[in-house]
Structure 1
Amino acid sequence: MKLFVALALFAGLSSIALAKNEEYCQNTVVTACSSSTFSALTGFFTGKSNSICNARFAGIDHVEPEVQAYINSQLTKSYDYLLLATHFNSYQKNRPGFQKLYQGLSDRSFDDSIALIKQVTRRGGVVDFNTRHESPASVSTKRNTLEVDELHSLALALDNEKQLASGATHVHSRATHATDADRDPELAHYIEENFLGKQAETVRKLSGYANDLAKLMKVPDPSLSVYLFDEYLQKQ
């Protein structure tokens, strides 16, 4: 009788352990390797199955839509800056300093998009450009044209950078201020290290440019002031 009770208790504990181990990669590997079905093994090793053996952990499922919205925002701003750079590089405007400024901002936003895509894939995700992921911090103001003058272009760029800074803050907040299951400290650290400080510095620089040029243009004929300011931007 004692032997029967011991065997029953052992069987019960084993079933509980197996149920708990279903969420672990090791148990999935053991199950796959013991299977005689080649298609099941192929799906497991190519990542086409719903295997638990992936790079996803912590709260990436909770934060990933916000990161994809931020990627979309970065790509949109990169395109806008490229249009501004083209506008000021024309023979009518001929502002190489402003062209240099906006080309640099366009390249930076594009490089940031690539870095974010690599971060998402590193954490086991896939960036889907066919699906729009919107968040309150990533919604941009619709504009009919980007053919603006020098001062208004700086104001536009400053608004863009504030939106990008708010987007990075939003992703960081979602990754930090969440429940234990949805919190993602690694992603929050990545955003803090690579985006928050850089965006704050860009906002500070553009706000200084906008205020300086606004003061210089408070003259009857501001053409010389704009020319000298463009010369200053070329040296930066």
Structure 2
Amino acid sequence: MKPFTALTLFAGIIALASADNYACHSNVTVGCSNSASTPVVCHSRYGGIENVESTIQSYINLNLHKSYQYLLLSSFYNSYQKNRPGFNKLYRDLSDRSFDDAIDLIKHVTRRGGQVDFRAISQHPNSIAQSRLKLEEDELHSLGIALDIEKTLTADAGHVHYQSTHGRPHDPQTAHYIEEKFLHKQADSVRKVSGFVNDLSKIMNQPDPSLGIYLFDQYLEKQ
């Protein structure tokens, strides 16, 4: 009796699995058809990506905008008048990082079945076309600008994380991605740049800070 019961149960499981497989196959076949009247269901969108996609779009734009600002600062300190290779290197590295972060965010959106609207980037108030940056600042004030940029990037990463966890439905995969890729790194960056600001402010308070600024620039070049 037991072998018969086991065989019946096994056959039932196989039948259910087969039915599920055929049902899935049928749905995929219909959903992926090229008919204009058929709703598209063959995509990688799931969870709460709709609730956070526009926020990620804004964060992409912010990273591109800040990358451009850092590039301006880098070029300014690379001129023959300023000749600060250490500051040039610092701001070029930060520019490259923000640009790479924007590319990574674009990949995240497309991986989740979304699209990035580059027209929105060009029309956004924080777009590159709208960028305004005073380049007449000295080294200390330029570091103050960098610290403000890093805190802005950190705050916006936190906003994306908040939207991912508090939206309904929430999107845990995006929340984990932002936490792993951005929040930890931004905390380290804010700490590093704030340290530079405090160190250089002590040097600038000296009667003749020119040698100290030169040595500080050499220190940045070796980082």
* TM-score category of the 2 structures, normalised to the smaller one: 0.7 to 0.9
Distance 1:134 1:66 in 2: 13
Please name the residue that 1:18 is paired with. Answer: none
Please name the residue that 1:107 is paired with. Answer: 96
Counterpart of 1:185 (choices 164, 172, 179) is 172
Residue 168 to residue 25, structure 1, CA distance change in 2 (3 Å): farther
Deviations 1:176-206 (A, max 9, x none): 1223x2x000000000000000000000000
Kept in 2, the 8 Å contact 1:82–1:102? The answer is: yes
TM-superposed deviation, 1:28: 4.2
Q: Write the letter of the residue equivalent to 1:168.
A: A
Please name the residue that 1:148 is paired with. Answer: 137
Residue 169 to residue 57, structure 1, CA distance change in 2 (3 Å): same
Structure number with higher helix proportion: 2
Distance 2:24 2:222 in 1: 55
Residue 172 to residue 99, structure 1, CA distance change in 2 (3 Å): same
Give the secondary structure class of the aligned counterpart of 2:175.
helix
TM-superposed deviation, 1:134: 6.7
Kept in 2, the 8 Å contact 1:87–1:147? The answer is: no
- Per the normalisation by structure 1, the TM-score is 0.77
Distance 1:147 1:28 in 2: 63
Dislocated runs of 4+, deviation >4 Å: 24-28, 132-135
1:63 aligns with 2:52: yes
Please name the residue that 2:149 is paired with. Answer: 160
Q: Say which structure, 1 or 2, has more relative contact order (CA 8 Å, 6+ apart).
A: 2
Please name the residue that 1:76 is paired with. Answer: 65
Kept in 1, the 8 Å contact 2:64–2:102? The answer is: yes
Distance 2:75 2:131 in 1: 19
Distance 1:32 1:149 in 2: 60
Please name the residue that 1:130 is paired with. Answer: 119
Residue 123 to residue 219, structure 1, CA distance change in 2 (3 Å): same
Residue 159 to residue 228, structure 1, CA distance change in 2 (3 Å): same
Counterpart of 1:229 (choices 209, 216, 219) is 216
Give the secondary structure class of the aligned counterpart of 2:118.
coil
Residue 198 to residue 144, structure 1, CA distance change in 2 (3 Å): closer
1:208 aligns with 2:195: yes
- Per the normalisation by structure 2, the TM-score is 0.81
Distance 1:232 1:25 in 2: 61
RMSD value over aligned CA atoms? 2.7
Distance 2:118 2:131 in 1: 20
Structure 2: segments with no counterpart, 5+ residues: 1-22
Kept in 2, the 8 Å contact 1:158–1:207? The answer is: yes
Distance 2:72 2:131 in 1: 15
TM-superposed deviation, 1:143: 3.8
Deviations 1:53-87 (A, max 9, x none): 11100000000000000000000000000000000
Give the secondary structure class of the aligned counterpart of 1:130.
helix
Residue 32 to residue 220, structure 1, CA distance change in 2 (3 Å): closer
Distance 2:107 2:137 in 1: 34
Give the secondary structure class of the aligned counterpart of 1:125.
coil
Give the secondary structure class of the aligned counterpart of 2:115.
coil
TM-superposed deviation, 1:30: 3.8
